[in-house]
Structure 1
Amino acid sequence: MDKLLEIRQLSILHKPSSTSLLHPLHLTVHKGESIALVGASGSGKSLIAQSIFRLLPENLKQNGEIFLDGLAITDQTVRKMRGNKMMLIPQSIDALDPLMKIGKQLTTLMNKEKNAQKLDTILEYLNLNHTVLNRYPFEISGGQRRRVLIAIALIKSAPLLVADEPTPGLDVDAREDMLSLLQSLKTKNNGMLIITHDFDAALKIADKIAILREGQMVEIAPIHAFCGKGEKLNHSYSRQLWNALPENSFWGYSHD
């Protein structure tokens, strides 16, 4: 498979204290592939997304190289890449413009000649009623706002899609719908990076799982390695996460 996103020796430093928040890591997402970054809060998952889009706060410094389809992502190139070559579905559902109706936020991103037809198709695909177009973000539910964020990603058709914590706060049915939607967005020509602390969700939608712990990448494993008691996993922390799932009897402990 062709490489889409390639991260080489990425590290992040807190400049005032010289504290390493992310230790040097490598990660490659191929076309047609979805990878989930899994780890506890504070493990560095979202920092990686911010690094890809060059959105780190001023007090943080990133080192290393990141390439998208062979082109280096730098302060100079990233402006043309955001929204065209790569899209971020942010963690916060407040990312939408609160002062602009949903319809205008969507149509301003589209080719005017094909607005109506394409918008109808996307709304139907996401199970969004046309009434949302005449509403402001605060007038629709959190689940609907997440779907609008996905609609923006669909409109732009960027090769790389990064979803930062796409399932928090959703009930069981809404969570399953969101996972199905994300899964359906994958094609042979694009790639996905899903950032989540929901290990079970990662297992359902990713081809590989990259596990972070305290700023270090401990393992990148294919989905088929997560079976049994984790014998095919290389790192003890990976096995602990796997065995901590309820269906694995919590830490491998059996009540039988």
Structure 2
Amino acid sequence: MKALVEIKGLSVFHRHSKQEILKDISLTINKGEIVALVGASGSGKSLLAEAIFHILPSTMDYMGKMLLQNHRIEQSMNGKKIVLVPQSVNALDPLMKIGKQIQLFSHDVNRIKRILNQLQLTDNVMSKYPFQLSGGQARRILVATALISNASFIVADEPTPGLDEQARHEMLQLLKSIQSDDRALLMITHDFQAAQEIADKIAVLYQGEIVEVVNKIAFDKEGSKLVHPYTKALWKALPENYFSIKGTSYANS
């Protein structure tokens, strides 16, 4: 498979103290792949998205390479070649009708109509403001912007927290629908089961470092192909393994 996105030796740090939050992150995402980045809350997952889109807090900076089809990822690519599906529906502009917000990504009326129908959204949603939408509709609009755009790389940051089981399933299916031969998706999540459901590969983030990148089938059966203790602990914590994490040490042996 051909690499679409390559992240090489990326470190994110505080400008003044130089303290690293993310350390030497390297990750390759191929065309047509869905890759999940999993880790505990506060492990720095969302910082990776902020670095990719050049929207880090002003107190932070980064070093390393981030490439899209061998070209350096620039902030000018945001919304065009790369699209972020943010965590919160508050990312929608409360003072702008949905139609205007969608048209920031495409003016192709037929394309917009087709994708809205695919997401079970009626045309009248275009004339509404965000506060007039249900939570599920607002989340689907965020995904719609990614589908409607011509972006080849989509990052979905924590797309499932707070959703009931039905809404969660629908969200994962929407994200899965993004997958195509010339696109790739990075899903940033602490919902390990969601990662298992739709990802091709799972990258495990622990204490600011990617400690393992494995095909999701490595989490089947006994998990014998897993290497790092933290990854093994994630496998043991799965419901089918009876949440067996007692006595597990995450330190590298």
Q: TM-score range by the shorter chain?
A: over 0.9
CA distance in 2 between partners of 1:4 and 1:220 (Å): 17
1:224 equivalent in alignment to 2:217: yes
Q: Partner letter of residue 174 of structure 1?
A: A
Shift of 1:102: 0.9
Among 89, 97, 102, the residue aligned to 2:98: 102
SS of alignment partner, residue 175 of structure 1: helix
Indicate which of 153, 171, 174 corresponds to 1:178: 171
Distance 1:135 1:168 in 2: 25
**Residue ranges of structure 2 left out of the alignment (5+ in a row):** 247-253
What are the superposed Cα offsets for residues 41-82 of structure 1, whole Å, 9 maximum, x if unpaired? 111111111111111111111011110011012xxx331x11
Alignment of 1:134-153 (within 5 A): 134-153=127-146
**Contact kept in structure 2, 1:88 and 1:162, CA below 8 Å:** yes
TM-score by length of 1: 0.92
Is the 8 Å Cα contact of residues 21 and 208 (structure 2) preserved in structure 1?
Answer: yes
Instruction: Count matched residues.
Output: 246
Supply the distance in 1 between the matched residues of 2:131 and 2:166 (Cα, whole angstroms). 22
Q: Which amino acid aligns with 1:212?
A: L
- Whether the aligned pair in 1 keeps the contact of 2:79 and 2:105 (CA below 8 Å) is no
Counterpart of 2:20 in structure 1 is: 20
Structure 1 residue runs without a partner (length 5+)? none
- Identity level (%): 50
Amino acid at match of 2:180: T
Change (3 A) 1:149 1:234: same
Superposition CA RMSD, Å: 1.3
- Contact 2:119–2:140, Cα closer than 8 Å, also in 1: yes
SS of 1:200 mapped into structure 2: helix
TM-score calculated relative to the size of structure 2: 0.93
Match of 2:236 in 1: 243
Q: Which residue of 2 aligns with 1:207?
A: 200
Cα deviation for residue 108 of structure 1 reads 4.2
- 1:123 alignment partner, SS class: helix
**1:66 paired residue number:** 66
Distance in 1 (alpha carbons) for counterparts of 2:124 and 2:13: 46
Question: Deviation per CA, 1:111-154, whole angstroms, max 9, x where unpaired?
Answer: 3xx31x22221111001123322211011112111100111111
Distance apart, 1:191 and its partner CA = 0.8
1:48 aligns with 2:55: no
Is the contact between residue 229 and residue 239 of structure 1 (CA under 8 Å) also seen in structure 2?
A: no
In 2, Cα distance between equivalents of 1:6 and 1:155: 24
